[in-house]
Structure 1
């Protein structure tokens, strides 16, 4: 085998976390391909996620990201920060401004609660684009001992 092995960051430990800790920002380019491919991958065939003309007929300025993709991006953001042994226990999100092609969504996060007995950490996550908050909510992760 050739090449450099990919380093995987260790999973975070609850003992190393504090309420108020912030996660690093992550910029996600919102491309037409991302919107269409993830809608198809989640079996969401609504035309507003792949047909610009029909989306405009329905009052949108263009196609826009579906909720399953937004949910998945919030989960990936949290688990990428927490590490490979973290387990998602709950996600509760709400949508705001649409994610349109050509924009960038910036994910931010903060530790809002830690339950050491249950090994759980709550993260407030927000994805903001040029129109305002697109996705906001809480991701609860279980971390190993």
Structure 2
């Protein structure tokens, strides 16, 4: 629960009044999808150490959102772990609109 009571998230008529086609997905959900991408990719041995998310466009119920990532760097560090740096995107499938961008760092066992 995000305690976000803005009516654009639950009242379709109000969202339309604000110029949106439907109620909007809350920004926190965009971030949660990108976190899930990281945690599923890294597996049980990994640890998400840093995440920065920027929501760029809205999404509405029924939109298919696709999350993807690209490794941008790898560092070997002490304590038996390496760091993997990622750029992440969440796009709306219907028109390839970027809804959210993120950067992440994941610690993985060597």
Which bracket does the TM-score occupy, shorter chain normalised?
0.7 to 0.9
Does 2:107 align with 1:142? yes
Tell me the TM-score normalized by structure 1.
0.66
Give how far 1:112 is off.
Answer: 0.7
Decide which structure has greater strand share. 2
Query: RMSD of the alignment, in Å?
Result: 1.5
Tell me the TM-score normalized by structure 2.
0.85
Task: Give the one of 84, 90, 94 matched to 2:44.
Answer: 84
Residues 1-145 of structure 1: pairs in structure 2 closer than 5 A:
41-117=1-77, 119-129=82-92, 130-131=94-95, 132-145=97-110
Secondary structure of the residue aligned to 1:143 is strand
Q: Which moved more, 1:116-125 or 1:132-141?
A: 116-125
Structure 2: runs of 5+ lacking an equivalent = none
What's the CA shift string for 1:54-73, capped at 9, x where partnerless? Answer: 11112212111111111111
Alignment coverage as a number of residue pairs: 105
What's the CA shift string for 1:14-46, capped at 9, x where partnerless? Answer: xxxxxxxxxxxxxxxxxxxxxxxxxxx222222
What's the CA shift string for 1:73-107, capped at 9, x where partnerless? Answer: 10111110110222111111212221111110111
Structure 1: runs of 5+ lacking an equivalent = 1-40
Bigger relative contact order, structure 1 or 2 (CA pairs below 8 A, ≥6 apart): 1
Q: Following the alignment from structure 1 to structure 2, what is the Cα–Cα distance between the partners of residues 70 and 56?
A: 21
